[in-house]
Amino acid sequence: MNLRMTLAGCCLLALFSCQKNSKEKTLFRMISPEKSGVVFNNLIPDNDTFNILSYEYIYNGGGVAIADFDNDGLSDLFFSGNLADNKLYQNKGGFHFEDVSSACGITAPGYWCSGVAVVDINQDGYKDLYICTNTYKEPARRRNLLFVNKMPQAGKLEFEELAAEYGIADTSYSTNSAFFDYDNDGDLDLFIINNNMQESRNPTVYTHEKHLLTSDRVDKLYRNDWPEGAAHPVYTDVSREAGITFEGYSLGLNICDLNQDGWKDIYVTNDFLSNDLMYINNQDGTFTNKASAYLKHTGLSAMGNDIADLNNDGLPDIVALDMLPESNYRKKTLLGPTNYTTFLYNERYGYMEQYIRNVLQVNQGKRPNSDDLVFSDEAMLAGIEATDWSWAPVIADFDRDGNRDLIITNGFPKDITDRDFMDYQSNNHAYVEQHKMLTMIPEVKIANYAYRNTGTAQFENVTERWGLNAPSFSNGAAYGDLDNDGDLDLVVNNINDAAFLYENTVDTGNYLRIELIGKPNNRDAIGATISYEGQHIRGFYEHTIYRGYLSSMDTRILIGLGRDSVANLAITWPDGKVTSLPGQKANQLLSIDYQRVEKEEGIKAPLAAGAIFSPAAIVPGDKIEDPDYIDYNYEPLLLHKLSQFGPGIAVGDANGDQLDDYYIPGPSRKKGKLYLQTPGGGFRLSADEMPVDPEQEELGAVFFDVDNDGDLDLYITCGSNQFPKSDRRYGDILLVNDKGHFTNISGQLGLPNLSSGCVRAADMDLDGDIDLFVSGRVLPGEYPLPASSYLLENKSGPDGIRLEPANSRAGGALENLGMVCDAIWSDYNSDGWPDLAVVGEWMPLTIFKNEKGQLKKLGNETGLENYTGWWNSIAAADFDQDGDMDYVATNFGENSSIRTSPERPVEIYAKDFDDNGSLDAIPFVYFKNQQGQLQKYSFHGRADLAKEMNKVKKMFTTHHQIGLVPMDSILSKEDLKGAYVLKATTFKTSYIENLGNGKFRVSPLPLAAQAAPAFGILADDFDSDGFIDILMVGNDHGVQPTLGRMDAMNGLFLKGDGAGHFKALSIAESGFYVPGNAKALASIFVGNQRAVITTQNNDVLLAFRYGPTARPFTPERDDIKVSFIGNNEEDMGTQALYYGNGFLSQSTRKVAVPEGAKKVVVTKYNGKNRSIDMK
């Protein structure tokens, strides 16, 4: 909860839902307070002296605990209160509860109680309560409380407060706590998270100090030291010696063995600027914070969190909540203007990237050759990023289908982050009385969210269908089987309303209820894990009850089995020993006692089989620095940067020694670099500095023989958004090769002077020399108007080098073609003429058919015209082995809060709407209105729109007004006359199957390919199984700041099956790991070893070897295809040859000769073949 933040540089979402009367059965049925007897209300009235303006954490709320305190087989309920007293309700069966709070002594009047942890602290078989307290300045009023269960007599509960006796009467403004065995000595230690808002320091101000050993904002670790002969443990503060030293405004806590090494780790979500913390257990009593190493970004105002395996891959995933709204109205009233300086300050002060949205950190396993973990935030891909002012994420299988679902609580009584209120307060705080100011603050009283997991961590919003649509100010929540019927019921702690008690009415799906009884000192077996497998499902569960926000779940476990009626279980106890229980029948309660079951020593999982790729030390270790240019200062409504595309890469034999070399184009103020391969398989920087102007912004490049003299010349495109249109620094470059020495002759040729993108070479007219296609990428300062692309016909001869404009060969179709990102020359119709496939931003997949040297742009007949997207790159291969050329095109991906479809496309309207002489480009997207229906709205809010069109300030005087109006209230029909309009109907990275007869079918690639914008791409048989695979890299760190960096991709290998289907392999399986802002990707031969090199913007190059060594076949300049023949004329595969393919990339033209190949048949551009015997 970030109240002081102006929320600049943030974006999106809120749900405005009211409870509807419906006779349709819902999964959850609310039990009224009158029936249940549960009338607890965390009532927090405000007044002139104590309110949201004087104490920002006044509405952080209380928690819930579900536990069987009296051991009668029925789970009881505990609620922590802030101003209200705590309440304990004894379960009498049939959803009837009795308030026994006063009699049992847990009410704690005068304390501001927060998180609640259930624990059998003295191991007497009865559950106790540890309560965190905070808020009050007097230490005596904020010491944490330990209520020890005195064992009920005649069913009557009684507790005694003994925190001081146990050494844990901590006074550090505690939020929550969890018990766990951090040192693996068999007993339960204690971790406490702290959050002191009483200090004078502004929590939104950046600071270099993050290790504050004595601060009340540093969390605490207490070790369980049970003195010999004592009746109970005594705890010792070991925080400092254990490495618990990072400050923060802690709100969420979870204990989990994240790296699965048998030692428990700690995850803490922090409010305001303070980074989230991921303390990894060093197995020696100390911890190391690995958050910045394992996570690429987090939420900004992070509240509660939960950790569980959401995609059933056996790895724990993390859900952490923030406050991004869902509705357009709430977005526009919450989010401030774009503020790029947030990124700059994060970097300067060493903070992680943080965004106002929920995160779902999907565990990708470990990095190759490392124990470091890899997480990718896929919350937007999963559809759970925006649930408004959220508190508790509760992960469990509520519908028993075998997939874990997600319920999120939210709401806030006084929305101090409302932009209009903040503006009013800023201008009038000195003149308006506080009680009047309080009446002007709106509330966020909305329904909680329910998401059903449809598999692989994809979620469906089922809030209405599950019956959780009552508006509320909800905080802590807990689940447990309150009526012992084999499903999980739900309890929610509300502010200023009675608590919610929901009965689960699910009648489908099988289940297992499991009660673990551990060793003495940990009778509830906290920290045990359960692996289970049936015919259709498999899963993994880690036993901790401290989840969500301020709350404790029931210790009894419920696992959904879906259709399976039998499951095999493997329980790994906290001491590492394993109990196997095969063939367990569904729909029963299993009570499993450590002392009574067989156990065996745990066996470490076998190492995975050898990965396909392995790192190769063939690239320099220094970063390729691309000076930052802030596009948004000049074009404030851009959705992503246009100045951060490079660097590209080109591979070829630059010095004629028969070894592949590579060139990396240089950004402005940095010259491009040529790396030459040495006979030993290394690379050295060419001693000859490349003759290029360092002021130019080089982007793409291609090696080709322009003058037919037998060596490779180099064409370099220049493009960006940081110079004026037609600036000389956009002029393309041609370097002519003379025995390994290059001469710049660009000024003699009149090459295109535009902000270009890719360059692709082919003999388009079959006259024996190589021609060029140069894409126009963007018109600087005039986004999104279309750029023209160019054909350059090679007319070189004895009288010199000539590259002449040849757009007439395309009949004018290349003029204003669009913002082209990539292209490839390939023969899609097998007629012997290279056709041109083009992809770009706001463009459809476009095919130019080569009709004997004339290019004809194909339209609707291809089936591609309606697939407009933000396409980045394209690769060609015969993926389905039917003899024709298919394609794969990378796109923006679907891990974004900007969603599109043919029915509801993302659109952009461009025109000088305010008649000030400059182009205004306004993007529109579909967000939910206040009734929950999708409607077309401006993506940007009032402040950003006013930067582009000052008249917006007069049209809409408040953020409230602009939050209500759809597109037609911002741009009138008159405004739209003459506007340039573009639409994007799909963001899916896709496989384009060639159906023959000029028809194509578009299908999305697997979900992993949609996790981020993908750029570099290669198609080859990387695993040597005879089928073409796909390798890609991606991410975009230049996306509009309120969207936040799109960084969930870590490189991706898609294994092909020869039928046009693909399977995503894990990092461990592929060995391919590229985590940064990756752009180009090219293949290269290092001696006889195949490898790939990828570039990363503002980061190092990475290289990977793959496959066995192979003899490289070197084609000639005008070869277009090679086919290998084995014994008995066996067809051993055909490979097309390209001059450039994939985003800003050129791969080697060399081809690996298959083992056993007897000859190679080589086809030239003119169709002539030659056969070469392989010796």
Query: How many other CB atoms are there within 10 angstroms of residue 186's CB atom?
Result: 14
Helix, strand or coil, per DSSP, at residue 853:
coil
Cβ atoms 1091, 1071 nearer than 8 A: no
Report residue 195 as tokens. 């959050």
How far is C-alpha 542 from the geometric centre of its chain's CA atoms? Answer: 23
Reference 421, options 302, 333, 346; nearest CA is 333
Residue count (the chain) = 1175
- What was the pLDDT predicted at 1? 46
Segments in the chain below pLDDT 70: 1-23, 197-215, 604-609
Structure-token pair, residue 644: 């951060």
Q: Is there a contact between 481 and 68 (Cβ–Cβ < 8 Å)? A: no
CA atoms within 13 A on the CB side of 196: 19
Closest CA to 295 of 341, 350, 354, 248: 354
Pairing assessment for the beta strands 510-517 and 589-593 based on DSSP bridges: parallel
Write out the H or E segment, with its range, that includes residue 102: helix 101-104
- Is residue 1014 within 8 A of residue 873, CB to CB? The reply is yes
Residues 683, 254: Cα–Cα separation, whole Å: 47
Cβ atoms < 10 Å from Cβ of 137: 8
Copy the structure tokens of residue 321: 């909540």
pLDDT of 818: 98
Measured from the Cβ of residue 885, the count of other Cβ atoms closer than 10 Å reads 19
Asked if residue 582 lies in contact with residue 590, where contact means CB atoms within 8 angstroms, the answer is no
Confidence at residue 622, expressed as pLDDT on a 0 to 100 scale: 83
Q: Which two tokens stand for residue 40?
A: 């607890």
Q: Which residue has the tokens 């994240």?
A: 258
* Range 28-517 classified under CATH 2.60.40.10: no
Non-local (6+) Cβ contacts of 197 within 8 A are 55, 56, 57, 173, 203, 249
Phi, psi of 362 (to 5 degrees): -80, 125
What does the buried/exposed string (b/e) look like for 10-22 if buried means 16 or more CB atoms within 10 Å of the residue's CB? bbbbbbbbeeeee
Query: CA-to-CA distance for 1043 and 355, rounded, in angstroms?
Result: 8
The pLDDT of residue 350 is 83
812: left (phi over 0), alpha (psi -120 to 50) or beta: left
Strand-pair partners of 790: 774
User: For residue 31, what is the DSSP state?
Assistant: P
**Residues of the chain above pLDDT 90, percent:** 87
List the Cα angle 210/213/214 in 5-degree steps.
120
DSSP 594: G
* CA-based nearest residue to 242, from 182, 177, 185: 182
What DSSP state is assigned to residue 816? Answer: T
Question: Quick one: DSSP state of residue 631?
Answer: G
Q: What share of the chain is helix, strand, coil (3-state, %, to 5)?
A: 10, 40, 50
Exposure string of 717-753, with b = 16+ CB inside 10 Å and e = fewer, is: bbbbbbbeeebebbbbbbbbbeebebebbbeebebbb
Which residues have C-beta within 8 Å of that of residue 439, sequence separation ≥ 6? Answer: none
> Rounded to an integer, what distance in angstroms lies between the CA atom of residue 509 and that of residue 404?
13
Residue given tokens 């087989």 in the structure block: 73
**Cα(385)–Cα(895) distance, rounded to whole angstroms?**
10
| Cα separations in angstroms, 141 against 78, 509, 623, 1010 | 21, 48, 54, 51
Q: How far apart are CA 359 and CA 1075, in angstroms?
A: 18
Domain boundaries, the chain: 28-517, 613-898+985-1173, 906-983
CATH class assigned to 613-898+985-1173: mainly beta
DSSP state of 527: T
Sign, Cα dihedral of 889, 894, 898, 900: positive
- Collapse the DSSP code of 808 into the 3-class scheme (helix H, G, I; strand E, B; otherwise coil) and give the result: helix
Mapped onto helix, strand or coil, the DSSP state of residue 1123 is strand
Q: Are 777 and 821 in contact (CB under 8 A)?
A: yes
Q: b/e for 937-955, b at 16 or more Cβ within 10 A?
A: bbbbbbbbbbbbbeebeee
d(CA 842, CA 784): 9
Contact 825, 834 (CB under 8 A): yes
φ, ψ at 1010 (rounded to 5°): -100, 5
E-assigned strand segments in 626-783: 649-652, 661-664, 673-677, 683-685, 698-704, 713-718, 733-738, 741-744, 756-762, 771-776
Neighbours of 706 (CB within 10 A): 27
Q: What kind and span of H or E run contains 426?
A: helix 419-428
Confirm whether pTM is higher than 0.85: yes
Please indicate whether the domains covering 28-517 and 613-898+985-1173 agree at the CATH topology level.
yes
Q: Which helix (H) or strand (E) holds 855?
A: strand 854-857
CA-only gyration radius of the chain, Å? 32
